Amino acid sequence: MKKQIVTAVIASVVCMPSMAILDLDLYTGIDYRTTSTSQSFSEELKDTNNLSGYLAIEHFIPMLPNAKLKYSDLSTETDSGSTIDSSTANAILYYQLFDNSLFDFDLGLAYTRLESDIDNMSKNLGQAYAAAKLQIPGTGVHAFAELVSGSLSSDKATDAELGLAYTFNPDSILNLAVRAGYRYQDAEINSLKMENKGLFAGLALHF
C-alpha cells in the first residue's frame, strides 16, 4: 500500500496538463509519521514510523461535491517482534463553504474503512468531515486543521490533525509546500480499542 501512495503522487504530476485544461485543482501529499500506538490487549507496542497520503480533486461546478481520498498505514510491532498490520482509508465528498485568500472551510461526508490484524478486524463507517485553512498574509504560511469523526452505528472512530505549512511558490501553476503537525486517530470497534498519535512532516503539491 505504501507503493500505491507513491504511485498516486507520481501519477498526479503526470496528469497536471490535463487538470489545467479542465480547470480542476489537484491536491496531493505524503507525510512521514512517528506513531505511538496503544490497543486493548496485554502486549506492549513499539513506537513506529509510518506513511500516510492523500489525493483531492476540486472543480468549478457548485452543485457537485469535491472528492478526496486518504490512506494511513498504522502498522506497528509488539515487544516480542511480531508485526501488526493496521490501516485506515477514507473516501470523502465535501463542499467548500468558504474559499478566499485568507480562509477556507470545507464540510462533507466520509466513508471510512478500518482494518487490523487483531481479531481480523475490518469495519466500514459513515462519518462527518470538516477541514479549515487560515492563511497568514504575506508569509506563504498557513495553518490547517482536518477532522473525520462521528458514526452512524455504535462503532466509533476519530481522525484529527492540526499543523502548519509553508508554500514556496504560491503564485505558480505548481505549488510545492512543506507541512508539519500533530495527528490523532482512535477507534472503538466492538471490544477492540485502538489509539494512534504522533508528529508528522511531509510534502504537498497543488496544481
Tens-place pLDDT, residues 77-129: 887 778 889 999 999 999 999 988 899 999 999 999 999 888 788 899 999 99
Closest to 50 measured CA to CA, from 72, 70, 28, 77: 72
Give residues with Cβ within 8 angstroms of 116, minimum separation 6: 39, 74, 84, 85, 86, 87, 122, 192, 194
**Cell representation of residue 202:** 511531509
Residue the block writes with cell 490484524 = 117
Tens-place pLDDT, residues 125-181: 999 999 999 999 989 999 999 999 998 888 999 999 999 999 998 777 889 999 999
Closest to 56 measured CA to CA, from 40, 42, 67, 41: 67
CATH homologous superfamily of domain 2-206?
OPCA outer membrane adhesin/invasin (2.40.128.100)
The ranges assigned to domains in the chain are 2-206
Neighbours of 29 (CB within 10 A): 22
